[in-house]
Amino acid sequence: MEQNMVKRMPVKAHPYDHQQRAYEFACRQFGLTGRNPPPSRGVALLMEMGTGKTLTTIAVAGRLFLDQKIERMLIVAPLSILGVWQEEFQKFADYPYSLAVLNGTGSRKSENLRQISTNGLIVGVINYESAWRLEDELAAWNADLIVCDEGHKIKTHNIAASKCMHRLGAKSRYRMLLTGTIITNKAIDIFSPYKFLNPTVFGNSFYAFRNRYFDMTGYGLHVPVMKTGMAKELTRRIHSIAFRATKAECLDLPETTEIVRTLELESQAQGMYRELVRDSFISLKDGEVSAANVLTRLLRLSQLTGGFLCQDDSDRPVSVSDAKLKALSDIVDSAAEDDRKLVIIARFLPEIDAIRRMLEKKRIGYSAISGEIRDRDEQVRRFQTDPDVTVFVGQIATAGLGITLTAADTMVFYSLDYSMSNFEQAKARIHRVGQRNPCTYLYLVAAGTVDEKVLQALRDKADLARILIDEYRAGRNPFQTD
């Protein structure tokens, strides 16, 4: 291979310029341009949400595989985004691979790991908690490339997940860590991710690292403060094996990017959902087939996918699932690590209340607008101007008009109503005059549910009620998905 030349990205997409540069940086670090030994066995992609670090990672893994450097790849990620990797590989990988998402019991995960097809690059995807519980099996599986997605999950050096990744990383030939940024409010947190990536950067001893770069202050000497004159060296070492990309710097990004985050309801919630689908179809056959009737039936299904349902003729909603809340929790954590503000839009008040409780538990400052909140202007002002208010929570029917939320460039739709007007108005809260960055919209969608139909109809600007009625008249259950 000619010195310093990097072969093309093996992906079925035209990469953006910053993705190409990130890919080339990783390939050079890994010695794929002829340098031997390679400069580093570990690379950090510090790329903000919406800049495409997953596609870039798939390209790097593909190049390592095609150049016969690796055969097995292990991806460790938060539980709520395991399915994202499966979808992204299907969409982008332009090389043969076999991938398994390791779900179920511990024995089931171990069995799935052993039974992954050996066609092409062999890829296992697992969550952090399962990884440390199955460390012996994963170590025996002997992945050549290990990827830590949302790498801030291992920022604490002495927790089980971090120790596991340090040990697994030490055995692998190549390592990658993906996160929006490696430093938030505590620069000391970089030690653990870099011990996984490349221990030669900051060493293997946390205490030696701490003593070199920080003075311990405060009551009990528990507060690390950067030593005078050490910040430049710390930053230089961090960026020696890291590629940084922010939305503001990526001038080739589109004005808006839409990401569908598909998640699975718990088995009990799935059973309740299927039963409600059957009951809704039966009720529809026994009543008037009208837009109002169809959408009323759809309403209860949408409530269930959001985690709540009124049962036994009671008006009081009961929690039946927290699948979406867990997925949102991971997104909130990532935004906090990136030191970026976030807008969350939901339809139902029980969802709003659950989201607010989650934020309060995390001690994250937020403002909110829903039906019962009156001081709208003050809630918006706090979000736009107060650095300690990092999340805005809005009910789609009441927060979609007349407000500006350009302090954020990312919006999460926890749930949707069926109004095209509400949908477009909500999206425009961040994508408007005053916004300096490209905007990212994330949709939380429960797999195999009406969430998929609702989102598709809104994106197609289609009449949802008419679609459902036509399906019913064609002899199908309009509440089922294909």
Residue 200 pLDDT exceeds 90: yes
Parallel/antiparallel/unpaired status of strands 317-319 and 308-310: antiparallel
Residue 286 pLDDT exceeds 80: no
* Burial state string for 70-106 with b = 16 or more CB within 10 A and e = fewer than 16: bebbbbbbbbbbbbbbbebbeebbebebebbbbbeee
What lies within 8 Å, CB to CB, of 43 at 6+ separation is 25, 26, 29, 30, 60, 175, 176, 177, 197, 241, 242, 243
Q: Please state, as a whole number, how many other Cβ atoms lie within 10 Å of the Cβ of residue 18.
A: 22
Q: Give residue 177's pLDDT.
A: 97
Q: Is residue 9 part of a domain?
A: no
3-state SS string for 156-207: CCCCHHHHHHHHHHHHCCEEEEEECCCCCCCHHHHHHHHHHHCHHHHCCCHH
Question: For residue 340, how many C-alpha atoms fall within 13 Å in the half-sphere facing its CB?
Answer: 26
Containing structural domain, residue 359 = 256-263+320-473
pLDDT in tens, 444-464: 999 999 999 999 999 999 999
In order of 107, 428, 451, 459, 471, the CA distances from 481 in angstroms are: 31, 29, 9, 17, 11
Residue range 120-135: mean pLDDT, rounded: 96
Distance of alpha carbon 425 from alpha carbon 403, whole angstroms? 10
Average pLDDT value for the chain: 92
Distance of alpha carbon 40 from alpha carbon 37, whole angstroms? 8
Residue 409 pLDDT exceeds 90: yes
Q: Pick the residue with more confidence: 145 or 370? A: 145
Q: Give residue 104's pLDDT.
A: 84
pLDDT in tens, 266-284: 999 999 999 999 998 988 8
Residue 33 pLDDT exceeds 90: no
Look at residue 364 and give its three-state secondary structure: coil
Domain edge (last residue) among 245, 277, 298: 245
CATH number for 222 = 3.40.50.10810
Residue 402 pLDDT exceeds 80: no
98, 220: one domain: yes
324, 240: one domain: no
Domain edge (last residue) among 195, 214, 245: 245
Q: Is residue 174 part of a domain?
A: yes
Residue 330 pLDDT exceeds 80: yes
Express as a percent the part of the chain with pLDDT over 70: 97
Q: 36 phi and psi, to 5 degrees?
A: -140, 120
207, 341: one domain: no
Q: How many domains does the chain contain in total?
A: 2
Residue 3 pLDDT exceeds 60: no
Express as a percent the part of the chain with pLDDT over 90: 74
Residue 149 pLDDT exceeds 70: yes
Q: Is residue 270 part of a domain?
A: no
Q: Is residue 287 part of a domain?
A: no
Residue 192 pLDDT exceeds 60: yes
Q: Give residue 222's pLDDT.
A: 83
348, 448: one domain: yes
Q: Is residue 275 part of a domain?
A: no
Domain edge (last residue) among 215, 245, 275: 245
Q: Is residue 306 part of a domain?
A: no
348, 464: one domain: yes
240, 324: one domain: no
pLDDT in tens, 47-80: 988 899 999 999 999 999 999 999 999 999 998 8
Distance of alpha carbon 353 from alpha carbon 393, whole angstroms? 10
Q: Is residue 482 part of a domain?
A: no
120, 223: one domain: yes
CATH number for 376 = 3.40.50.300
Distance of alpha carbon 345 from alpha carbon 392, whole angstroms? 8
pLDDT in tens, 253-268: 889 999 999 999 999 9
Parallel/antiparallel/unpaired status of strands 145-149 and 174-179: parallel
Q: Is residue 11 part of a domain?
A: no
238, 341: one domain: no
Q: How confident is the model at residue 372 (pLDDT cuts 50, 70, 90)?
A: confident
